[in-house]
Amino acid sequence: MRIQLITLVVEQYDPAIAFFVDLLGFDLVEDSPARTNDGRPKRWVVVRPPGAETAILLARADGDPQAAAVGRQVAGRVGFFLQVDDFRLAYDRMVSGGVEFVTAPRSEPYGRVAVFLDIAGNRWDLLGPDRPQPPK
């Protein structure tokens, strides 16, 4: 058993793809035309960190209730966790790319952590070891 996908509700597909692929370094797994249950066009957009099994379905908000959830899918809590092998490298790359961090990096018993916002405004933890890990 495994979790294959989680859904992240976004305002628009293309800026969300650019954020996850260009800024965070995720792979674009799929971007295909699809239809809503009532036949309107939409896209099936899946992104995934390199080497990860679980992916994110980027779903454009459809209607007022979904639009209201953009950026608040977990009520302002950190709801997503991005584990990296080299915290400093990932953090520096993200900062230089314009990713907004809402906390400074800090050391915790489980490693380095800093909270950042995704394209929609959801909070993520960037997590990594205090020191870079040797290549696997």
Q: Set out the domains of the chain in order of their start, with CATH numbers.
A: 1-70 (3.10.180.10), 71-136 (3.10.180.10)
Quote the pTM value. 0.90
Summarize pLDDT for 83-135 with one digit per residue, the tens: 999 999 999 999 999 999 999 999 999 999 999 999 999 999 999 998 755 66
The per-residue pLDDT for 134 is 60
State yes or no: pLDDT of 14 exceeds 80: yes
Residue type, 96: S
The per-residue pLDDT for 136 is 58
User: How far is Cα 78 from Cα 72, in angstroms, rounded to an integer?
Assistant: 10
pLDDT band with cut points at 50, 70 and 90 for residue 52? very high
The per-residue pLDDT for 130 is 80
Contacts with 71 (C-beta within 8 Å, 6 or more apart), sequence order: 120, 121, 122
Span 9-21, average pLDDT: 97
CB-based burial, 79-112: b 16+ in 10 Å, e otherwise:
bbebebebbeebbeebeeeebeeeeeeeeeeeeb
